[in-house]
Amino acid sequence: MQPPHHLGLEHLSTAVLVLDRNFRVRYANPAAENLFEFSSKSVAGTPVNQVFVETGGLVAATESAFASGASYTEHEMTLATAANTYQVSLTVSPLFDVEPLLLLEFYQIDKHLKIAREERMQLQQQYNRELLRNLAHEIKNPLGGIRGAAQLLEHELPKPALREYTQVIIKEADRLQSLMDRLLAPSRMTKLAPVNVHEVLERVRSLILAEHWAGLAIRRDYDTSLPELMADHEQLIQIVLNIVRNAVQAMQGQGEITLRTRIARHVTLVKKSHRMALELKIIDNGPGIPEAIREQIFYPLVTSKEDGTGLGLTIAQTYVAHHGGSIDCDSLSGRTCFTVLLPYNHLNLH
Ligand SMILES: Nc1ncnc2c1ncn2[C@@H]1O[C@H](COP(=O)(O)OP(=O)(O)OP(=O)(O)O)[C@@H](O)[C@H]1O
Ligand SMILES: [Mg+2]
């Protein structure tokens, strides 16, 4: 694939795509091939909204630059290819000198900025969890008293029909009690033993499939050469189960989930660098996380479901933290991806 020579794009360190008037890729420079991990050849002729999972922002930017003949910049957008998700800013410039072309320049948003933001969030979440745990403790005690008193009262009631009311008190107290128990649950000690991650994934897969979702496919994309991980078997199952169950619920059982394992090398997690980590991606093709709560899904009690408690991801995140790892999410309509990184050499656990 020949680049438009007069532009001299081959040597630019900025990732550049050139589109023709039909928004098909004419050319990707080496920096773009590097960034997005595709070859110029493989994307040539492909409409740009098929190269990337559609975000709205990309197509809107190209169309408005083309229509107006002026450059257009989108400052922070999420783009996904089949392999990965990227935070970029994008400038689209029309080039109408020889033939109508569009020049797309992608700048990856500084990783350090993202890390700093993540660290702040992690700290904030630690405070929140602490606060919540204390609150849960405080609620549990009087709750026992309320329930006990309602039971005593029930025995003294002159009319059995009045028991309807004491039963409401008892049932609601029980419901609150079990919510508080879930809030307090993640404090269990982490027990480490060698774990085969694929065995964990298979277990979750069969647990979910046993629920007989018609129209649900759970695809495996395993790197079978992965070594065993020192981890807490039960917690690992819970992490994966909570994420997968959310995906199934979001898709209402209709769609595809991919479980993908890889080795990640030289990763920094919680300020420590690790030579090797397990990278687990759980990808679904459901509707995506509702925009209004996208930034808060790991916070406790954040839910979009009528009967949800909003604790599934909080618990998953707590368990991942026990292993010195990280959990992250990228979500667009049609592709939601949770990435869990767990280091292989994490020794000083709580
Ligand atoms: N794969 C997904 N696709 C779309 N939305 C998701 C996905 N995963 C999570 N979410 C959103 O994140 C919210 C929080 O998830 P979380 O598991 O913490 O709580 P929940 O599922 O609502 O309740 P619980 O898990 O406690 O029963 C969900 O209510 C949902 O809106
Ligand atoms: Mg959930």
pLDDT for the residue 55: 63
Question: What is the position in ligand 1's atom list of the atom closest to the CA of 303?
Answer: 29
Check residues 178 and 163 and name the one with the higher pLDDT: 163
Distance between Cα 19 and ligand 2 center (Å): 41
Q: What is the mean pLDDT of the chain?
A: 87
pLDDT for the residue 253: 93
Q: Where are the beta strands (DSSP E) in the chain?
A: 15-19, 25-28, 72-80, 85-95, 101-108, 193-195, 216-221, 229-231, 255-269, 272-284, 326-332, 335-343
C-beta separation of 8 from 30 below 8 A: no
pLDDT digits (tens, 9 = 90+) for 87-138: 888 899 998 877 889 999 998 877 667 677 777 777 777 777 778 888 888 8
pLDDT for the residue 188: 64
- Quick check: 243 pLDDT over 70? yes
pTM score, whole prediction:
0.66
Mean pLDDT value across residues 224-237 = 93
Ligand nearest to the CA of 332: 1
Encoding tokens for residue 142?
């009087």
What secondary structure does DSSP assign to 230-290, as a single string? EE-HHHHHHHHHHHHHHHHHHTTT-EEEEEEEEEEEEEEETTEEEEEEEEEEEEE-SS---
Confidence of residue 350 (pLDDT cuts 50, 70, 90): very low
Residue whose CA lies nearest to ligand 1 atom number 10: 289
Non-local CB neighbours of 196 within 8 Å, separated by 6+ positions: 228
Strand partners, 255: 216
C-beta separation of 300 from 185 below 8 A: no
- Quick check: 2 pLDDT over 60? no
For the chain, give the percent of residues with pLDDT over 70.
Answer: 93
Residue extents of the structural domains in the chain: 5-109, 115-187, 193-343
Domains 5-109 and 193-343 share a fold: no
DSSP class of residue 38?
A: -
Distance between Cα 337 and ligand 2 center (Å): 15
Ligand nearest to the CA of 301: 1
pLDDT for the residue 258: 97
- Dist CA 130 CA 218 (whole Å): 36
Question: What is the position in ligand 1's atom list of the atom closest to the CA of 247?
Answer: 1
Distance between Cα 10 and ligand 2 center (Å): 47
What secondary structure does DSSP assign to 161-200, as a single string? GGHHHHHHHHHHHHHHHHHHHHHHGGGSPP--EEE-HHHH
Q: Tell whether domain 5-109 is in CATH 3.40.50.720.
A: no
**SS3 state of residue 122:** helix
Buried b (16+ CB within 10 A) or exposed e, 99-122: eebbbbbbeeeeeeeeeeeeeeee
Question: What is the position in ligand 1's atom list of the atom closest to the CA of 298?
Answer: 18
Question: What is the position in ligand 1's atom list of the atom closest to the CA of 329?
Answer: 8
Neighbours of ion ligand 2 (CB under 5 A): 246, 312
Mean pLDDT value across residues 181-206 = 86
Confidence of residue 218 (pLDDT cuts 50, 70, 90): very high
pLDDT digits (tens, 9 = 90+) for 269-294: 777 788 899 999 999 999 999 999 99
Confidence of residue 330 (pLDDT cuts 50, 70, 90): very high
Q: Ligand 1 pocket, 248 CB below 6 A?
A: no
pLDDT digits (tens, 9 = 90+) for 301-318: 899 998 888 989 988 998
CATH architecture of 193-343: 2-Layer Sandwich (3.30)
Question: Which amino acid makes up residue 21?
Answer: R
> 313, 319, 338: which to mutate for ligand 1, most atoms within 8 A of CB?
313
Mean pLDDT value across residues 169-197 = 85
- Quick check: 348 pLDDT over 80? no
- Dist CA 17 CA 162 (whole Å): 74
pLDDT for the residue 193: 92
Of 241, 222, 226, 219, the C-alpha closest to 195 is 226
- Quick check: 349 pLDDT over 50? no
- Quick check: 191 pLDDT over 50? yes
pLDDT for the residue 285: 96
pLDDT digits (tens, 9 = 90+) for 51-95: 988 666 788 888 888 888 888 888 778 888 877 888 888 899 998
pLDDT digits (tens, 9 = 90+) for 37-46: 898 899 999 9
